[in-house]
A and B are shown apart, each in its own frame.
Chain A
Amino acid sequence: MDLRLGRHTFGPDQTLMMAIVNRTRDSFFDQGATYDEGPARERVRQVVEDGAEIVDIGGVRAGYGEVVDAAEEIRRVVPFVAWVREHHPGVVISVDTWRSEVAREVCAAGADLVNDAWGGHDPALVEVAAEFGAGIVCTHTGGLPPRTDPYRVEYDDVVAAAIAETTSLAERALAAGVPRESIVIDPAHDFGKNTFHSLEITRRLGEMVATGWPVLVSLSNKDFVGETLGAPPQERLTGTLAATSVCALAGARIYRVHQVRETRATVDMVWSIAGRRPPLRAIRALQ
């Protein structure tokens, strides 16, 4: 199925790199490196040059941290969305927010996709996406409220739970008027999950792909990689790419990443191994 994200349409076998652009002071990986306007603009320029199809702009750190109310989130994100729309019209603009009032402002400013990383916490979010013709990411958090960490969470079957929650959110988005080809599901590694859960989600990602909804994975440098390998955030690229390979083989379509080039090469390689992408140029033994 084609994927339509706001103004942009992608073919059924196309994979997409979604580059993380944080307008925060305290996100775990970049530690505020793109909080200011200048570095954020440079980051967008760089990831577009690196081949990212999507930028995912966030104004609030996912984990605990300084309070960012809707007004402050709008101040951080909306003018920036407008700037990206004007200066990089070819890139899909995603905004990572759970608040419908923020979604309304960013969609008006040109966002193509609402990344609801907190899994339908604000039920009005899908209505905003529908109203503006934007896409929506439906995420599994196991019912965790925004900006909280999981504590002693357990599931009978984490994959079944992720499928049930994300597909039910997807159906709700559909009912609210978001077109089927604009709805994406995300198992949300680490969100409402311990490391064993995230490893199992990775191992069984094919079950999510089999639902028929396009799957987004957000693996980049996360704690489940760090805990698995005993690696601090800056040393998690190799583990991230290993997890990326497994998800790519299963057929994930969108990859939310810090490192665009490395992930693109990994996904292209696996996509070709899976027989979904021809090699770029093949002549060895075929002369």
Chain B
Amino acid sequence: MTGVRVALVPGVLAFLPEYAGQVDPVAEVRAASLAAAAWVGEAGPVTVVGDPQGTRVGRRLLAQSGAEEGAGSAYLVVANGSARRNDTAPGYVDERAVPFDDRVLAALAAPDPEALADLDVELAEALLVGHPAGLVRLGELLRGARTVGVDHVSDPFGVAYWVVRWEGPQP
């Protein structure tokens, strides 16, 4: 029996079918996110952790990957890093963004649940981080977990995207 499965995907609105163009501008991160959603879905019904927009994105990924939404021992957390990483980013540049994202990514990769639980939410909001509360929640979910894979790290539009998978002990 598998343990708890947790995956993090970014809340990219371009994942939603109502915003589909003819050319997919987020093909790589979409593929990684779909694979992660499918992987958590293998552990049974999946709880989506996200703000209202992120929840829409998470549900879409689950539906598209054939996973089922519901309470169980699988979690899809929809959150991402800063949207102020450079001067083409949606929030323009903030010098604090890259170091902040680096610290969060290190905590995700380790994983370091305490560092995530102690996330500076005020700074995260100033840096237009996607759903800081979701990252804080990861601090709870990842206690005793090990990292299965850091599948995707990119910032093609000045927004930090991470797709990471973890497995925890049986609940």
Q: Which of B21, B23, B26, B159 has the most CB of A within 10 A?
A: B21
Interface size of B as a range: 10 to 19
Q: Flag the segment in B12-20, B30-38, B66-74, B131-139 that touches A.
A: B12-20
A287: chain B residues at CB < 8 Å are 12-14, 83, 90, 157-159
A280: nearest chain-B partner, CB-CB: B22
Q: In the docked arrangement, what's the CA distance between A287 and B89, Å?
A: 9
A283: nearest chain-B partner, CB-CB: B25
* Interface of chain B residues 41 through 68 with chain A (CB within 8 A): none
A286: chain B residues at CB < 8 Å are 12-14, 19
Q: In the docked arrangement, what's the CA distance between A283 and B20, Å?
A: 9
Q: In the docked arrangement, what's the CA distance between A280 and B23, Å?
A: 6
Q: Is the CB of B19 within 8 A of A282?
A: yes
Q: In the docked arrangement, what's the CA distance between A286 and B83, Å?
A: 11
> Interface on chain A toward B: helix, strand, loop, or mixed SS?
loop
Flag whether A281 is at the interface (Cβ < 8 A): yes
What number of residue pairs across chains A and B have CB atoms under 8 A from each other? 36
Contact string, A225-245, partner B, CB cutoff 8 A, digits 1/0? 000000000000000000000
B19: chain A residues at CB < 8 Å are 282, 286
A interface size (C-beta, 8 A):
9
Closest-CB distance, A267 to chain B (whole angstroms)? 15
B159: chain A residues at CB < 8 Å are 287
Instruction: Pick the contact of A282: B21, B83, B90, B157 (CB < 8 A).
Output: B21
B23: nearest chain-A partner, CB-CB: A281
A278: chain B residues at CB < 8 Å are 20-22
Q: Is the CB of B90 within 8 A of A285?
A: yes
* Interface of chain B residues 66 through 119 with chain A (CB within 8 A): 83, 90
B83: chain A residues at CB < 8 Å are 287
Contact string, A247-287, partner B, CB cutoff 8 A, digits 1/0? 00000000000000000000000000000001111110111
A281: chain B residues at CB < 8 Å are 21-25
Q: In the docked arrangement, what's the CA distance between A285 and B159, Å?
A: 11
Q: In the docked arrangement, what's the CA distance between A279 and B158, Å?
A: 22
A283: chain B residues at CB < 8 Å are 14, 25-26, 157
B15: nearest chain-A partner, CB-CB: A286
Q: Which of B12, B20, B25, B83 has the most CB of A within 10 A?
A: B25
Q: In the docked arrangement, what's the CA distance between A278 and B21, Å?
A: 5
B26: chain A residues at CB < 8 Å are 283
Closest-CB distance, A83 to chain B (whole angstroms)? 33
B14: nearest chain-A partner, CB-CB: A286
Q: In the docked arrangement, what's the CA distance between A280 and B20, Å?
A: 9
Q: In the docked arrangement, what's the CA distance between A283 and B29, Å?
A: 13
A285: chain B residues at CB < 8 Å are 13, 90
A280: chain B residues at CB < 8 Å are 21-23
A282: nearest chain-B partner, CB-CB: B21
Given contacts A282-B20, A287-B12, A287-B83, 15 further A-B contacts (CB under 8 A): A278-B20, A279-B21, A279-B22, A280-B21, A281-B21, A281-B23, A281-B25, A282-B14, A282-B19, A282-B21, A282-B25, A283-B157, A286-B12, A286-B13, A287-B14
- Which B positions have Cβ atoms within 8 angstroms of A? 12-14, 19-26, 83, 90, 157-159
- Which A positions have Cβ atoms within 8 angstroms of B? 278-283, 285-287
